[in-house]
Amino acid sequence: MLKLLYMIKLLEEDIMYIEQLLKKKPIIAAIKDIDDLSDIPKDKIDIIFVLRGKLSNLNNIVKKAEELDKLVFLHIDMVKGIASDSEAIKYLAQEIGIDGIVTTKSRLIKDAKKENLITVQRLFLLDSESLKTGINIVKSTKPDFVEVLPGAVIPELIGELKQELDIPIIAGGLIKESSQVKELLKGDILAISTSRKGLWNSDFN
């Protein structure tokens, strides 16, 4: 019991640390392959979402990201060559060394928490019904962060989501301009995930 409480305390400290990082540097670089890592500015981004990948090259991606002193979150739903189950989560945590996962699958959030990974529940909010479903999912799984898509067209839904949930929100998808980022960060959004390299180099503080 004491060991479990200690691990929970460590995880809570990790979550607070990541929140602080994102408040200072609110852009998350969403990458599709290892070559994208070369384009990440050292002083503007601390966190990476790996959106695609194969099991065979994940180790190289994580190793290079660590050399750049970046935290790596893996969109596990999009990885080729590995099953989306508890054993895969354990392997990614213990052997590959990822820091967290991004997923639309609520059951994987629970599996990842058991491995002390930071969890990001990805939600697609298109209308009031998807908002209601998303709220119920998050209340059930209790992820550490929520990523909502498409971030560019749902500011009013994000406001409703924030009222219902006491969880930091990341926006992603269809965010193309610096002005959109600035507007979202003025509201209930903690950070923006984007694959647009032009936004990686922008300063939003």
Work out the angle at residue 81's Cα, subtended by the Cα atoms of residues 79 and 85, and round it to the nearest 5 degrees. Answer: 75
Comparison of pLDDT for 71 and 5, the residue scoring more: 71
User: Side chain identity at 22, as an amino acid letter?
Assistant: L
Among 9-18, 51-60, 161-170, the range scoring the smallest mean pLDDT is 9-18
- Check residue 11 and give its pLDDT: 67
- Check residue 1 and give its pLDDT: 39
Among 10-14, 50-54, 187-191, the range scoring the smallest mean pLDDT is 10-14
Percent of the chain with pLDDT over 70: 93
pLDDT at 19 over 60: yes
Domains and CATH numbers, the chain: 2-200 (3.20.20.70)
pLDDT, average across residues 33-37: 94
**What's the mean per-residue pLDDT of the chain?**
89
pLDDT, average across residues 55-73: 93
Predicted confidence band at 202 (pLDDT cuts at 50, 70, 90)?
confident
Residue 55's alpha-carbon distances to 46, 49, 78, 104, 148, in angstroms, are 23, 16, 11, 19, 26
124-140: pLDDT as tens digits:
988 889 999 999 999 99
- Cα Rg for the chain, rounded, in angstroms? 16
